[in-house]
Chain A
């Protein structure tokens, strides 16, 4: 098992949104998160990635093995595509820059400044960053935003290759990627209005 989360309670802006949620990620498997806007998908992903603490519950096996991709790609406009990738490769200690450029067909763009790319091209660069990190667990928040059909296919095959290599992925998405993956709908875990569970304003009620 690559990652295990037990009985999570999560808050957004001091208010509990998700309660009693458990999930685990196995090598070679992906888990798709579903749920309407505001259900807490982003909050869950940020918590799993270690960007914010859970109110309650435990996450094990996560430290330093997660590559997170959120709404912003962390791309510097004044660096070339290759320089952007090389930076993240060095930070994470990976080296698969050429393979990452291949996977998302970025070779023709490699020497261009990232600021001159289109939104979809930037997104491809953001996703190719996952490949250079060498992390076994990918945590992805709406990865296919602004991607065209071809790019979505590139992404799906990158995910498949990652899973085949013993990796794992947790993806919040609304489109069908054609993956053999378990689906977790987090709507039933919505925190009840009367549920307090250590949220920051609990003390005042």
Chain B
């Protein structure tokens, strides 16, 4: 059986109904365990004190803020190439979740930055990039809301997502060029495999990141289900009207 068979809304709903309870339970427990472990059972950083503990919210949300856009990019491409409705609706469903993740990352970053850098906001490349990402999310959601025909809306937002991705990457480098910044480097650089965070901090962070990832997945499945049911209700109503 091909993976594309789940592009059928009915099959997708059936599968997501089976997966969702498991996802909700594991994601919420991961987030709760990760946060409690991180907040209460790790030592304070020798330089940053207890303020460092906001990392357990900040890093996972920032990670998901970017990954949500990346997922929207992939689902948009699938919609443009293969025209599976579920794919377009999943992109639509992911956008507000990504927006909230970006907002959490920005707010926790500001709260963390205040004691560390002595300012709530600095025009640091990372912060600025996230602010720009936030604007992209806003525009994307606004375009979905503004177009009446759902298929046209899916087409237009998909192209916006593609073009926006290119410009978001471009902005990232432009911003880096423009201001060198205060933000510390990546906590977990994937390429080198070395960690700048010690194990005590790393494991609760990992649990929290997994939790945020699964929570994102659960939210997107739930919201996609809602979108599918909305479209289904609309289709049924049109059919009733025409039969009358």
Contact = CB atoms under 8 A, between A and B. Distances in A.
Please determine if A and B sit in direct contact within the complex, based on CB atoms under 8 angstroms apart: yes
A205 B232 contact: yes
Given A14-B149, A14-B151, A204 B239 contact: no
Interface size class of A (residues with CB under 8 A): 10 to 19
Interface residues of B, number: 16
A204 B232 contact: yes
A193 B85 CA distance: 22
From DSSP, what is the main secondary structure of chain B's interface residues? helix
Given A13-B149, A14-B150, A200-B151, A205 B235 contact: yes
A175 to B, nearest CB: 30
B149 A201 contact: no
B228 interface: yes
Nearest to B240: A193
A15 B8 contact: no
B242 A201 contact: no
A149 interface: no
Nearest to B234: A201
A204 B149 CA distance: 15
A204 B242 contact: no
Contact of A201 (B8, B238, B243): B238
Interface string A8-20: 0000011100000
A91 interface: no
A194 B239 CA distance: 8
Given A14-B238, A200-B85, 9 more contacts: A14-B149, A193-B239, A194-B239, A201-B234, A201-B235, A201-B238, A204-B9, A204-B228, A204-B232
Interface of A: 13-15, 193-194, 200-205
